[in-house]
């Protein structure tokens, strides 16, 4: 693998009011993820690592195999889309993390997931 990561991760978070119970301190956010392989060799997503922080500073660390039960293989130029969700006790928070990937050459590397904000509409105005 080259110095720069060949995997590009983009995220679109969305508040899910129909699944949330604000009066109980339950705020549900769905996040839509696109993973793009901009490299010259195929890769497989092996595992994920998330840091989820709420507005009170509470941090939850999540590690696990694959994403939503899959360990997708991406050929050069391929992309993989999925969505998942998280539940916060506050109306604002953030997530960031990384995927562990393995290339066709057998080398493992981390693909960073840039930090993104989770916020109920109007909460940050």
Asked if residue 21 belongs to a domain, the reply is: yes
Asked if residue 22 belongs to a domain, the reply is: yes
Asked if residue 123 belongs to a domain, the reply is: no
**b/e map 89-123, b = 16+ CB within 10 Å:** ebbbbbbebbbbbbbeeeeebebebeebebbbeee
Asked if residue 90 belongs to a domain, the reply is: yes
Asked if residue 44 belongs to a domain, the reply is: yes
Asked if residue 2 belongs to a domain, the reply is: no
Domain of 106 in residue numbering reads as: 7-118
**How many domains in the chain?**
1
- Give the CATH number for residue 78: 2.60.40.1470
Give the pLDDT of the chain (125 residues) as one tens digit per residue.
445 789 999 999 999 999 999 999 999 999 999 999 999 999 999 999 999 999 999 999 999 999 989 999 999 999 999 999 999 999 999 999 999 999 999 999 999 999 999 999 988 86
């Amino acid at each position: 693998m080259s110095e720069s990561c060949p995997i590009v991760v983009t995220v679109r978070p969305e508040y899910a009011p129909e699944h949330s119970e604000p009066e109980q301190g339950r705020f549900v956010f769905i996040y839509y993820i696109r993973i793009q392989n901009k490299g010259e060799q195929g890769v497989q997503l092996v595992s994920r690592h998330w840091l989820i922080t709420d507005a009170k500073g509470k941090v939850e660390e999540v590690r696990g195999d694959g994403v939503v039960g899959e360990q997708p293989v991406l050929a050069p130029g391929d992309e993989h889309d999925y969505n998942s969700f998280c539940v916060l006790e506050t109306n604002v928070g953030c997530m960031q993390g990384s995927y562990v990937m393995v290339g066709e050459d057998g080398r493992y590397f981390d693909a960073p997931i840039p930090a993104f904000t989770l916020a109920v509409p109007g909460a940050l105005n």
